Amino acid sequence: MKGHSLKQELTIINTTYDFIKYLIPIISKFPRNQRYLLAEKIEDHVLHIFENLIDAKFRRDKKDILLSTNVSLEKLRFLIRLTYDFKFINDQRYQYISTQLNQIGTQLGGWIKQQ
């Protein structure tokens, strides 16, 4: 079971890493007046999620940090939805980002259940 847990931890960390590589260049192109408001919030949340996942990997008691990460992920979903509603991202990017967030959420949910 321990080996499965480690693989699961590395998978979600790598998935989140790849998501950040995709997302940051997109939000950096937001309109100037939103770059320092919405884009910065999104960047803070996605990096917070990533940092929490790495922290959880090394903690004995992971559940609290994983639950907190789940809340941050939900906030990020709503921020991304706002960017779509404001037309800062197109349909195709929104679909891809949503799919990636759902994948991260599924992996995170599995890790939480394991605790």
2-114: CATH class: mainly alpha
More confident residue, 7 or 42: 42
Region 65-70: mean pLDDT is 97
Residue ranges of domains in the chain: 2-114
Tell me the C-alpha distance between 86 and 70, whole Å.
Answer: 25
Tell me the C-alpha distance between 30 and 21, whole Å.
Answer: 16
* Confidence (pLDDT) at 1: 45
* Confidence (pLDDT) at 20: 98
Q: Where are the alpha helices (DSSP H) in the chain?
A: 2-27, 32-34, 40-58, 63-85, 91-114
pTM given for the model: 0.90
Which residues lie below 8 Å from residue 47, measured CB to CB, with a gap of 6+?
20
What does the chain come to in residues?
115
